[in-house]
Amino acid sequence: MAIFKPSFTKEQLSRILDMELCSYPLAQLDDLYKLIYQAITGPSHMPHSHSLIKKALFAELNAARMLPVPFSYDIGTGIGYQRISLCWLSDLDGRKQEEAIDEFVRIINGSRLSEPYSSKDIELVWSQVIPLIKTRLPLTESDTKRISDMISQELIPSHSDIYKSVYQPHYRLVHQSLLDETYDLINSTIEE
């Protein structure tokens, strides 16, 4: 199935920001940039290797402190991507966890954009987002330049230290079109 870049209206971008700031009021500019980047590209910025993604998931599950959060969080207003919490995987062990991770990695890889994205794609959306952010957060000229530099280099930041400390974000991105499959996987591991 082909996955295409979502095209958000100004109202949808505003809703994406409002939902994030309502759910995560301590989010910083880097967190909002990461949010928009992920809303546009999903997991396309990650390595495509099944084994690398699987290894990263195991490492994160072994090191993470999981907070109870919803299984999914819509960052794409119903047309893009969802953040799928890893908490359901942390409750599994052994062979069951490995099989679930293998299937989840397949879904993640299936959520990649069919066409490559570029810094121009991100820049275009970000130019619409900056005025929206300015009504929600104080921004300096150096803040906007720092993000512009990240865009031109096609970089995606980690979450801010405060975001990581308070919210303990542990998730992967899945496209809306693969949500039923994702929920079936999660439910099958819970029911067993």
Average pLDDT value for residue range 3-26: 94
Note the pLDDT of residue 12.
97
pLDDT (tens digit per residue) in 25-70: 999 999 999 999 999 999 998 888 999 999 999 999 988 777 777 7
Encode pLDDT of 92-146 as tens digits: 888 999 999 999 999 999 999 998 788 888 999 999 999 999 999 999 999 999 9
Q: What is the mean pLDDT of residues 173-184?
A: 96
pLDDT of residue 173 exceeding 90, the answer is yes
Q: What percent of the chain is modeled with pLDDT above 70?
A: 98
Cβ-proximal residues to 23 (8 Å cutoff; 6+ apart), any chain? 73
- Which pLDDT belongs to residue 76? 93
pLDDT of residue 96: 93
Q: Which residues contact 3 (CB under 8 A, 6 or more apart)?
A: 42, 110, 111, 112, 113, 114, 175, 177
Confidence tier at 24 by pLDDT (50, 70, 90): very high
Tell whether the model's pLDDT for residue 192 goes beyond 70: no
Average pLDDT over residues 142-154: 91
> Which residues lie closer than 8 Å to 122 by C-beta, 6 or more apart?
36, 37, 40, 41, 151, 154
Give the helix, strand, coil percentages of the chain, each rounded to 5: 60, 5, 30
